[in-house]
Amino acid sequence: MNNIIRSVTVASIILVALIAFNLCTYTVSQNENAIITQFGKPLGKPVAAGLHLKWPFIWTVNRLDVRIHEWDGKAADMPTRDKLYMTVDSFGRWQITDPLKWFTSLRDVRTAQSRMEDIIGSEIRNAVANNDLIEIVRTDKNRKPVQDQTLQTNTQVALPPITIGRTAIEQEIIEAATPKLSQFGIGLLDVRLMRLNYSAAVRSQINSRMISERKQIADRFRSEGEGEAAKILGNKERELQKIKSEAYEQVQIIKGKADAQATEIYAKAYNQSPASAEFYAFVQTMQAYRSILTNDTSLILSTDSDVFQYLKTVNKAAKP
């Protein structure tokens, strides 16, 4: 019985010690700082990472995330120095650099985001209003823009030179906003202009102008293509005529040689004997009859014509 009481007593003492240890200590992780408050009033400096002691039920541990946070600005319409209304979308990175100032002035991330929207958004508007559009669009004054080869026309206007560029403008925004945010314990690490676009009021006009320019380029390409096509067709017709004329020349040469050979053969056959000559004349005359005589042909021939002699002979042979 005494052993049981002793065991219960030891267990109770250990449990009480653990509860007391838990109430009197707290742990701060590596990505945090802690602010100790007593009845809502901060006590001393921020507490770094590690295991620390505290007064139970009197001190309250307020943990602050000191990692890098993201600020995503709202897209807003704002005018440039050359009176062009642009929709500017921006973002930034920030960190809690003074936890005590942060805790006494803001206390939570949502309030900090709202305050940064006011301060950084205002500096972005000032920077955009103090610079021309070309300065905000171009990243660096030493960087040369890539020219679209399809736009190399006689009416193309060269891009104006820039003096600072968007990178320097973003750095000016950071330098202007940093002192205003430091009083809240915020360290501004970076600000970037994420996206630039024309406002909705003029976007349709810009798109129409771009479409018109591209149509002009397309028409120019079509015109050049049609010119090349006409040139190719002309060359083709010239080559065809040349080939036809050369072929016709070869045909005439071959026909001339064939006619010469035929004439030579006929002449040899004609000179062999009088009977052969008579037969040759007869054959040629018969071929002439076949060419010139049809069922509806009427001829008026002289009685001493060479063509008429065979008709006259045929006529005499036909009489009884």
CA–CA gap between residue 87 and residue 124 (Å, rounded): 12
CA–CA gap between residue 64 and residue 60 (Å, rounded): 13
CA–CA gap between residue 207 and residue 210 (Å, rounded): 5
CA–CA gap between residue 164 and residue 306 (Å, rounded): 109
CA–CA gap between residue 245 and residue 252 (Å, rounded): 10
Backbone angles phi, psi at 12, to 5 degrees: -65, -40
Among candidate residues 15, 36, 111, the one with its CA nearest the CA of residue 69:
111
Residues 6+ positions from 159 with CB-CB distance below 8 Å = 134, 145
Q: What pairing do the DSSP bridges indicate for beta strands 50-53 and 25-28?
A: antiparallel
User: What pLDDT is recorded for position 32?
Assistant: 86
**Domain covering 69-144+160-198 in this structure, CATH number:** 3.30.479.30
pLDDT tens string for the chain (320 positions)? 677 777 767 777 777 777 766 778 788 888 888 888 888 788 878 888 878 778 788 888 888 888 899 999 888 888 888 888 888 999 999 999 998 888 888 888 889 999 999 999 999 999 999 988 888 888 776 766 666 555 555 444 566 777 888 888 999 999 999 999 999 999 999 999 988 888 777 777 778 888 888 898 889 889 999 989 999 998 989 999 989 998 988 999 998 888 888 877 777 766 666 666 667 777 777 777 777 777 777 767 666 666 666 666 554 444 45
Q: Do the beta carbons of residue 134 and residue 128 sit within 8 Å?
A: no
User: What pLDDT is recorded for position 316?
Assistant: 47
Give the domain ranges of the chain.
2-65, 69-144+160-198, 277-320
CA–CA gap between residue 90 and residue 194 (Å, rounded): 5
Residues 6+ positions from 168 with CB-CB distance below 8 Å = 141
The tokens describing 135, both together, are 């300065």
Query: Letter for the amino acid at 228?
Result: E
User: What pLDDT is recorded for position 149?
Assistant: 57
